[in-house]
Amino acid sequence: MSRSDALITTSPDRLGGTPVFAGTRVPVQTLIDYLEGGDTLEAFLDDFPAVTRDHAIAILELAKSALLSKAVAA
């Protein structure tokens, strides 16, 4: 099992296959939408108590790693 498998799950029977925080029905995209909209991580966590701070931070770290691995030196 990869690190992302432990953090994010998908199932055609759950929200049409939308990637969600593992063990919840909270789409990962919702966290991104909150942050893009200027909301804080705390606001997201308050609105989605099924997601732990550690889980949300791990998702953000995974996204950061994926982004940086694609970076090209100038």
Is 35 part of a structural domain of the chain? yes
CATH number of the domain that residue 56 is part of: 1.10.10.10
Is residue 41 a part of any domain in this protein? Answer: yes
Domain tally, the chain: 1
Residue 28 is part of which domain span?
3-64
Pure H helices in 1-74 = 3-7, 28-36, 41-47, 53-69
Q: What's the whole-model pTM score?
A: 0.83
Q: What is the pLDDT of residues 3-49, one digit of tens each?
A: 556 899 999 988 889 999 999 999 999 999 999 999 999 999 999 99
Mapped onto helix, strand or coil, the DSSP state of residue 36 is helix
- Does 70 fall in a domain? no
